[in-house]
Amino acid sequence: MAELLKVENLKTQFNTEGGVVKAVDGISYHIDEQEIIGLVGESGCGKSVSQLSVMQLISTPGEIVGGEVIFEGQDLLKYKAHGSEMRSIRGAKIAIIFQEPMTSLNPVLTINQQLTEMLELHLKMSKKAARERAIELLSMVGIPSAKSRIDDYPHQFSGGMRQRVMIAMALSCSPKIIIADEPTTAVDVTTQAQLLELMKDMVERFKTSLVIVTHNLGVVARYAQRIYIMYAGRIVEEGTTKDIFGKPRHPYTIGLLKCIPRLDEEEGRKLVPIEGLPPNLINMPPTCAFLPRCSYKVGRCFQESWPPLKHLHGQHYISCYANTEERTSEPAAR
């Protein structure tokens, strides 16, 4: 499939009183048409910030300081953040579903008001047509008796229902890409599964690409075709889902997989957490940020700066100097 969005060397930083926080430090990724990719990392690794940067929704003290976001042949970062070109992309071509369904809907506007305003704006629908379409969308995402519930306010909906409304909203203008920023973190596990299935069905139906941003490898395993692993503002490993789960090569990815249980493993394996904490993004050392927590480190790691992405095979890349191959046959990765 053709490439739809290409992010090159994106850098976003926050100029705080304590210093410059390099939240996103030169990440590059791409997504093809109708592809589902996963962007995985711990809290604070810059995964959400990178997605907000693509939409130019970073507000002060945050600042996009470099890189390109190529979408339909245009660099989105060349547009003014609240200019008309960028606005005609947001919601219409690239839509985003946020993490907190409880707070991401405006409490004083009805669902109808919040759903139809995009249809009226981007698709130039009349009020009446937009309302019809909104009802359609709501029933599509599984809201029972959508017709009578459309004039309700968000507080009359449960968390899962609100996230369905957010999904309907994201789909409403048939965007090319939907970014789901931790879409299921704030809802309970059964609802999580339902929402993920729903999202998968919907992006197939609407022929949309989907970026799933999550800290939960389990979430992306089932849905994503390719996965990017982020650590401290950089992508440390990328590959197909099969590569990442079958032959993880970056010590961080290996660590992540060691701490989630698997159904197909031998009994009695212990879950091993990654020791230590993610680094403070202010005053980062020039060396690899994972170094203090790494159990594979070699001499070169201490001398040279952060390793560039190295091609392994196919679509599999890692950013690591150590030779992790022979040890990945440990039970952790099976």
Partner 1 sequence: MTTYIIRRLIQALVVLILVTLIVFFVMRLLPGDPVLIYVAQTAEFEAMPPETLDRLRAEFGLDKHIMVQYANWVAGIFRGDFGTSIFYREDVGTLMLERFPITIHLGFLAVIIGAVFGALAGMLTAVRRGKWLDKTVTPLTYGGLTIPVFLLGILLIYAFGVKLGWLPISGYTSPLDDFWLSTRQVIMPVFCLAVFGLAANARQMRSSMLEVTRQDYIRTAWAKGLGERVVVMRHMLKNSLIPVITLMGVGVSIILGGSVLVERVFAIPGVGSLFVSSIFGQDYVVVQAITLVFAVIILMVNLIVDISYAWLDPRIRYG
Hunting for tokens 């430090």 — which residue is that?
25
Quick one: which of 8, 30, 34, 57 contacts partner 1 (CB under 8 A)? 57
Q: Segment near partner 1 (CB under 8 A), from 21-29, 117-125, 207-215, 229-237? A: 117-125
Distance CA 328, CA 152 (A): 53
Residue of 32, 34, 29, 70 whose CA lies nearest to 46:
29
String marking each residue 130-169 x if it binds partner 1 according to CB under 8 A = -----------------------x-x----------x--x
Rounded Cα–Cα distance for residues 250 and 243 (Å): 11
| 88 binding partner 1? (CB under 8 A) | yes
How many other CB atoms are found less than 10 A from the CB of residue 101? 27
Q: Report if residue 82 touches partner 1, rule: CB under 8 A.
A: yes
CB of 287 to partner 1, least distance (A): 35
Residue with smaller CB distance to partner 1, 90 or 316: 90
Residue 256 and residue 229 in contact, taking contact as beta carbons nearer than 8 Å = yes
Question: With CB under 8 A as the contact rule, which of the stretches 13-21, 63-71, 96-104, 247-255 interacts with partner 1?
Answer: 96-104
For position 213 contacting partner 1 by CB under 8 A, the verdict is no
Q: What is the 3-state secondary structure (H, E, C) of 110-128?
A: CHHHHHHHHHHHHCCCCHH
Task: Assess 5 for contact with partner 1 (CB under 8 A).
Answer: no
Instruction: Confirm if 39 and 212 have CB atoms less than 8 A apart.
Output: yes
Nearer to partner 1, 166 or 212 (CB): 166
Binding status of residue 90 toward partner 1 by CB under 8 A: yes
What is the longest distance spanned by two Cα atoms in the chain? Answer: 67
Whose CA is closest to 110, among 148, 55, 69, 67? 148
Interacting span for partner 1 (CB under 8 A) from 27-35, 66-74, 105-113, 312-320: 105-113
Residues that bind partner 1 (CB under 8 A): 55, 57, 82, 86-92, 95-96, 98, 100, 103-109, 117-118, 121-122, 153, 155, 166, 169
